[in-house]
Structures are given as structure tokens and as C-alpha cells.
Amino acid sequence: MSTGSDQRIGIGVIGLGMAGGVMVPVIAAHPRLRLVAAADLNPVLRERFARDHGVPAFDDVAALVARDDVEAVYVATPHALHARHVLLALAHGKHVVVEKPMGLTLAECDAMIAAADAAKATMIVGHTHGFDPAIARIRDLVEEGAVGEPVLVNLFNYTNFLYRPRRPEELDPAQGGGVLWNQLPHQIDVARTVIGRPIRSVRAMTAALDPARRVDGLVSVFAEFDGGATAMLVYSGYDRFDSDEFSEWIGASGQAKQPAHGATARALPNDATDEVDARQTRWGYGGDSMRPVPAAGLPHFGQLIVSCVNADIRQSPRGLIVYDRDGMREVPVAATAARPGHAAVFDELWAALRGGAPAVHDGRFGRATIEACLAIAESARLGAEVGLNVAMGVEVTG
């Protein structure tokens, strides 16, 4: 807990894999946070963390959430463990930031929401690219009234996702493997934030194209929102075409990159044990693949075009380009941190805990994204449109 004049939030990190490895430096650099502890089963990752930050690293989550200096936790464990670790933290009176996806079932989400309500604790679901500064600026333009209401969101992303080293559960759909659970929540949250209304129905297709990795690596979605706006969402992780070609080779985190079509798939270890080791060591906290790189542009999640009543808006590497009857104009968007979308997660936590502001990306927001993911999976299975319950909580409106 904060003491005296130190109003920083003490954060404990649960999980030092890839997501934790990305977020630990963000937490350590955030002026309103104190990184006070971590927990992970991997001794190599614990040793790296303790060496770099001089604070404890446990092999037991219970030991971390029992600490008085941990005011909030960041949960970045495998998807199937999110509910267990969130509920444990809430039972100890901690506030929670839980990585997407919030859970794998609506029952898990409901249990977490009920526990947070009972504990009077703040729970935020993220990071997704819905937190990115360009997405917030699009919503600002809508609220300002000049571009009119959104009518269509078109978002597509082609990456090497499926051939990055994976643990076995990351290739098992029942445990949250594949692009539907790992990548589609980013797109859903971007569309929901821009449109600002609940999703009414979805029509979707998924495909598993590689017999050696029997999990969905491609998904396309047509989503209709309350009020009639629609979104077209496409994601492919097969390491062929790379849509960052259209972003001047600025990657999803805003880093400069070089074309490397197929290189990730070619470098994938043939042995499953070697793949797991690479996932844990090279892609975990402090690994070679996790070294920070200078920002060259804004974070993004593929190519985004938003059609509004009075204008079209395209995200660019440096901001937004607005097209209307007067021509085109660029709207610069500032990045206030090395990973501004990731830092925004904790800005929202600070605003809730110290400023009393209601969290936007709370458990009910996160639950609605999970409902959309489940509906998309069902639509792909049935080959039919699937409706959602639109009375699921308050959507983003600004």
C-alpha cells in the first residue's frame, strides 16, 4: 500500500513470460508505479527479474498476494489460469490488471466480476490495442462531432504469430490457443472503442492451415453493432504476407523492423522441447527476443480504416489521416511513453485508485469481448450468424 507522501501504486507481477516480459519495463518506468515483486514458476525468469530490479521473485503466487506492499497485481499467466489468479488476488484485497483474454468462459468472467464487486476492488482488462493513443484520438474526433458517427471499421493484420515459439497449451484451442483468443481481442476492443456500442451479432470463419499446428491461425469476422455500424476484422498469423509493409515497416509496438517473410517459421525449432525452452527463455522476461527497441512510430494492430458519416479516417505511422470533402489532412498523435498503449493500462488504474474515476476497461467491458470471441467461435463452427446479448454492461462512449 502507498505510505506517507509516496502515492505510487505498488505492483506485483504474476507471470514473467512474454506478456509479463513486455509489461515489467513499462511498470518499472512508470512514474506512478512501484514494481515490488513478481511470481513465476520458471527459475531462470525469476533470477533475471530479481537481478534487474532488486525485489523478490517467488515461485508461489500466494506468497506474492500476501505482501502488504502489493496494492495491485498484473496477471500475465497462461489464459486458463487467469480466473484462478485473479480470484486469489481479489481474495487478498488486491486490485487487478489482467491480461487479455479476461477468461475463457463467461462463467469465469462472472466469477471475477462478482469477486471484484464484493471486494470493492478495481479490475482492469488489458493490454489490448484498444488502449493505443491513435484509437483514443479517433474516439475524440467522433466525440467532437466533425467526422460524424462511425459506420464501418475495417481492420486487417497479417503477421508471423503462429510460428513464434509456443508452449503446448498455446496450440490447444480448449486452453485458449490460436489467434482467436490471443489476437482477435485486440481487434474486437479497437472496434468496440471506436464505435462505442455493443456488438449485436457476428458472422465468422476460422481456418487451421498447418497440420503441424492444429489451431486456428486465420479468422475473418463481420460484426454488426447496436445502431447498425459494422466491423470487418481479419487476422492471419501464417508468416507469409506482413501487413506492416503498409505501415512503412513500423511494427505493432511502434518499432522499426525489416521485411523477413517466412523467417520466423523457418527458424522454429523442430523439437517440441526446444520450442518450449525458446518460448520460456528467449521470449520470456529478459530474453533475447524481448530486448527493448527504440520507437519509430505509433503502436498499431494492422491496417485500420474507419468510415464515419462525414469522413474516412486511416491510422498512419505517426497519427491519423482524415479524408473528407475538403481533401485530406494529417492529425498528429503524440506517444507519451515508450509503449504508450501499455502505459495507458496503468494510467487507467491510477485514475481509478487515486482519482476516483470509474475504470473504462473493467470486468464488464472484458466480459463483452469474451462473449464476442465465443460467438465468433460458434459462428465459425455453425457457418451461421450468431447473436449476442446486447444488455451486457456499459460500453465505451469516450
Distances (CA, A) of 56 to 209, 290, 301, 359, 380: 43, 21, 34, 29, 45
Q: Which domains occur in the chain, in start order?
A: 9-129+340-362 (3.40.50.720), 132-337+371-387 (3.30.360.10)
pLDDT score of 233 more than 90: yes
Read off φ and ψ for residue 200, nearest 5 degrees. Answer: -95, -45
Among all chains, which residue has been given the C-alpha cell 455493443? 198
Q: Comparing C-alpha atoms, which of 269, 267, 285 is closest to residue 277? A: 269
C-alpha triplet 247, 250, 253: angle, nearest 5°: 125
Per DSSP, the residues of 281-340 read: HTSSTT-GGG----B-S---SSEEEEEESS-EEEEETTEEEEEETTEEEEEE----SSSH
What per-residue confidence (pLDDT) applies to 146? 86
pLDDT digits (tens, 9 = 90+) for 36-94: 999 999 999 999 999 999 999 999 999 999 999 999 999 999 999 999 999 999 999 99
Q: Comparing C-alpha atoms, which of 151, 142, 157, 184 is closest to residue 304? A: 157
pLDDT score of 397 more than 50: no
Burial of 38 (0-12, 13-18, 19+ CB in 10 A): buried
Cell numbers placing 26: 513499462
The whole-angstrom distance between residue 248's C-alpha and the CA centroid of its chain comes to: 23
What per-residue confidence (pLDDT) applies to 4? 59
pLDDT score of 391 more than 60: no
Spatial separation of the C-alpha atoms in residues 260 and 245, rounded to whole Å: 11
- The confidence band for 338, taking pLDDT boundaries of 50, 70 and 90, is confident
Cell numbers placing 359: 475504470
- The confidence band for 24, taking pLDDT boundaries of 50, 70 and 90, is very high
- Segment 221-229 mean pLDDT: 97
pLDDT digits (tens, 9 = 90+) for 124-144: 999 999 999 999 999 999 999
| Type of residue found at 210 | D
